[in-house]
């Protein structure tokens, strides 16, 4: 089973505003033409899209791209809604323990992936903890968007060696993400569905 990077990328697009910083133009130069889905074979950790239909309806994707330097609306709100539905967030804060528990539960008993998941959740939680109860202009949690943005990139860059495709293209993609670029910048055009 492959980690559903297309869905992770879509979620990452929704959460793009999470860091509240513009994305470096350097990130929009893809490292190669490879398909990120071919780099890491992993259990699918993303719940079905239909579980988030209510959130996606409440916070739809904008019809037009944001102006340069500004962040698209709704991303933090969508992330907050999704995490609240999953029991990963309450009272404006991400629960590290709930995130670990929910994510590890779908690993299918793989000890290697379980350890990776715990490390990724811990790293992302530490990265976003300083944001605390910070809200965006819509009153939604910046922490939620930041946490959601962190997870797919960290899962990709920390893919266990037994699931990783050792190729020049995959290593270039990993290096691209390690520079701080969001995972959606690995796709040419919109991510595949």
**pLDDT 10s digits, 122-172:** 999 999 998 888 888 888 998 998 898 898 899 999 999 999 999 999 999
pLDDT digits (tens, 9 = 90+) for 27-83: 888 899 999 989 998 776 666 777 788 898 898 877 776 554 455 678 889 899 999
Locate 3 and state its tokens. Answer: 């980690």
pTM over 0.85: no
What does the pLDDT read at residue 72? 60
Q: What are phi and psi of 94, to 5 degrees?
A: -75, 135
What does the pLDDT read at residue 137? 85
Whose tokens are 């811990």? That residue is: 122
Please say whether the dihedral angle defined by the alpha carbons of residues 63, 46, 28 and 125, taken in this order, is positive or negative. positive
CB 182 within 8 A of CB 27: yes
DSSP one-letter code for 123: H
What does the pLDDT read at residue 11? 45
Task: Walk me through the domains of the chain, giving residue ranges and CATH numbers.
Answer: 5-20+27-58+72-186 (1.10.238.270)
What does the pLDDT read at residue 123? 95
Q: Count of CB atoms within 10 A of residue 112's CB? A: 13
Per-residue pLDDT for 5 more than 60?
A: no
Whose tokens are 């793009």? That residue is: 16
Contacts of 1 (CB under 8 A, 6+ apart): 41, 42, 43, 44
Distance CA 174, CA 96 (A): 25
């Amino acid at each position: 089973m492959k980690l559903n990077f297309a869905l992770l990328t879509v979620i990452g697009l929704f959460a793009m505003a999470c860091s509240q910083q513009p994305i470096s133009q350097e990130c929009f130069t893809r490292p190669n033409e490879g398909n990120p889905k071919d780099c890491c074979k992993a259990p699918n950790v993303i719940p079905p899209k239909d579980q988030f239909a209510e959130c996606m309806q409440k916070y739809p994707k904008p019809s037009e791209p944001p102006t340069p330097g500004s962040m698209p609306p709704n991303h933090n709100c969508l992330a907050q809604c999704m995490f609240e539905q999953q029991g990963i967030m309450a009272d404006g804060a991400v629960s590290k323990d709930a995130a670990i528990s929910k994510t590890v539960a779908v690993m299918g008993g793989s000890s290697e992936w379980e350890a990776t998941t715990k490390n990724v959740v811990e790293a992302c939680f530490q990265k976003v903890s300083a944001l605390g109860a910070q809200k965006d202009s819509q009153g939604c949690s910046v922490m939620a968007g930041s946490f959601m943005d962190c997870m797919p990139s960290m899962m990709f860059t920390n893919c266990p060696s037994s699931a990783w495709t050792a190729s020049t293209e995959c290593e270039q993609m990993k290096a691209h993400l390690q520079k701080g670029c969001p995972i959606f910048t690995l796709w040419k055009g919109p991510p595949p569905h």
